[in-house]
Amino acid sequence: MLSLADIAVVTKIDRVSQAEREVFRARILDAAPDIRVREVNALHGIGIDPLVERMRATPDVCGELTLRGNPPVGTCTICVGKKTVGWQSHFGVVRPLENQTFYRGE
């Protein structure tokens, strides 16, 4: 996932020491040197503002959405290998659940 990501968001930074955070950041950068690492603690609001600003500065996506790599292993058996994103690309059962739409393969 890191090799395909633009940003790595590290959460729960209040649970580890500064030294552990630096080691973790170094390991992320070893795996993906061009990635931006953002450390956040949503409970106290640490690091949230720069992350939100970065997201707001990102232009809207127009047209068809596609994944850069293969989907995670936990996808439904119907969706394995598909890289298109959106309900139009799925062949599983689509039904409402508590005012939300979710996708489930048959």
| DSSP per residue, 52-71 | HHHHHHSPPP-S-EE-SSPP
Query: Residue 99: left if φ>0, alpha if ψ -120 to 50, beta else—which one?
Result: left
Instruction: Encode the chain (106 residues) as per-residue pLDDT tens digits.
Output: 777 788 899 998 888 899 999 999 999 999 999 999 999 987 888 888 888 888 899 888 788 878 777 666 555 666 667 777 776 666 665 555 566 655 555 4
Which secondary structure element, helix H or strand E, spans residue 28, and what is its range? Answer: helix 18-31
Does the pTM exceed 0.95?
no
- pLDDT score of 61: 79
